[in-house]
């Protein structure tokens, strides 16, 4: 059996006659952290909406563990761009919300999330309201709410875009450490190339719409990583190459991604 968890094949999607996704083929392996970067408006978030089945593709195939995605419902835990914490619920109740939606009692949901507060850096803030937390703490609470649902894969839609630069860097480093510990399977949408390099095993680069994948990069940095690793020649080379790809997409060959087992470009 293949270790590929998600596989999209030749996906296209249009809205009101405008083709947004032209030909998207990608794969994410079990335990892998993959990012998608691309120009603004290129349809990055549309890929996640297709995976959550909020949208249907016009054509192409979507597989989850080798079977059609529609036969594998509730496979993803989704974290949106904003933390979306409910201001009238305390942090422990916000973190437990996904479990309650799935049918767990509030008491049981609270008991399930409570042991995770320390590792998420939220110990002592269980009974605070979202307005009483910093931006970084709110994002950690939102991620706790996401991962506690114990779905097979995390979908992260630019979750740190609203944070200031220092807080964003701190939470990126924290997330990298958490991923190293737990080995979640994750697909991250981001416009931040450095963030993608720091967090990812592989990175797909989208063209402008109608989007297609024009390059794929494997990140050779060892784990666990620190911010200092971004100064290494390997990290700087990948970051520069991705930026060149985004700035000059017309110079790229007709690239076809080959999935999780592809060779490193560096």
Per-residue pLDDT of 133-181, as tens digits, reads 988 889 889 888 888 877 788 899 988 877 788 888 888 888 888 888 8
Reported as type and span, the H/E element at residue 243 is helix 233-247
Q: What is the pLDDT of residues 218-266, one digit of tens each?
A: 998 998 888 889 999 999 999 999 999 998 877 665 554 444 554 444 4
Examine the domain organization and report whether 144 and 167 are in the same domain. no
Examine the domain organization and report whether 113 and 69 are in the same domain. no
In the three-class reduction of DSSP (H, G, I as helix; E, B as strand; rest coil), residue 63 is classed as strand
In the three-class reduction of DSSP (H, G, I as helix; E, B as strand; rest coil), residue 81 is classed as coil
- CA 110, distance to chain mean position in Å, is 25
Examine the domain organization and report whether 147 and 164 are in the same domain. no
Q: What is the pLDDT of residues 201-226, one digit of tens each?
A: 999 999 998 999 999 999 989 988 88
Examine the domain organization and report whether 66 and 164 are in the same domain. yes
Position 244 in a domain: no
Domain that holds residue 98: 87-151
Name residue 89's beta-bridge partners.
none
If one counts the domains in the chain, the total is 2
Long-range Cβ contact pairs of 173-177 (< 8 A, separation 24 or more): 173/226, 173/227, 174/121, 174/140, 175/143, 175/199, 176/223, 176/224, 176/225, 177/224
Between 72 and 192, where is the model more confident?
Answer: 192
Position 143 in a domain: yes
Examine the domain organization and report whether 183 and 264 are in the same domain. yes
Examine the domain organization and report whether 67 and 180 are in the same domain. yes
Nearest alpha-carbon partner for 172 in 155, 190, 146: 190
Alpha-carbon distance of 50 to 73, in angstroms, equals 12
Number of alpha carbons in the 13 Å side-chain half-sphere of residue 137: 17
Examine the domain organization and report whether 120 and 200 are in the same domain. no
Examine the domain organization and report whether 100 and 57 are in the same domain. no
pTM given for the model: 0.86
| pLDDT > 90: percent of the chain | 49
Name residue 64's beta-bridge partners.
6, 67
């Amino acid at each position: 059996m293949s270790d590929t968890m998600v596989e999209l094949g030749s996906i296209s999607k249009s809205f009101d006659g405008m083709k947004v996704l032209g030909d998207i083929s990608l794969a994410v392996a079990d335990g892998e952290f993959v990012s998608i970067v691309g120009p603004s408006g290129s349809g990055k978030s549309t890929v996640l909406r297709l995976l959550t089945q909020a949208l249907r593709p016009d054509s192409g195939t979507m597989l989850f563990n080798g079977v059609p995605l529609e036969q594998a419902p509730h496979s993803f835990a989704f974290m949106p761009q904003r933390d979306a914490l409910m201001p009238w619920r305390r942090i422990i109740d916000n973190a437990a919300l996904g479990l309650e939606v799935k049918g767990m009692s509030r008491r049981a949901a609270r008991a399930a999330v409570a042991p995770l507060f320390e590792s998420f850096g939220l110990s002592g803030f269980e009974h605070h309201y979202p307005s009483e937390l910093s931006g970084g703490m709110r994002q950690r609470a939102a991620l706790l709410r996401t991962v506690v649902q114990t779905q097979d894969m995390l979908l992260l839609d630019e979750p740190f875009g609203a944070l200031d630069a220092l807080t964003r860097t701190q939470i990126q480093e924290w997330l990298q450490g958490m991923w190293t510990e737990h080995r979640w399977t994750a697909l991250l949408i981001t416009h931040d190339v450095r963030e993608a390099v720091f967090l990812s095993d592989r990175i797909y680069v989208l063209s402008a719409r109608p989007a297609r994948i024009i390059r794929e990069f494997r990140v050779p940095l060892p784990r666990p990583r620190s911010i200092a690793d971004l100064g290494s020649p390997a990290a700087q080379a990948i970051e520069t190459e991705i930026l060149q790809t985004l700035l000059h997409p017309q110079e790229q060959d007709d690239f076809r991604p080959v999935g999780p087992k592809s060779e490193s470009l560096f």
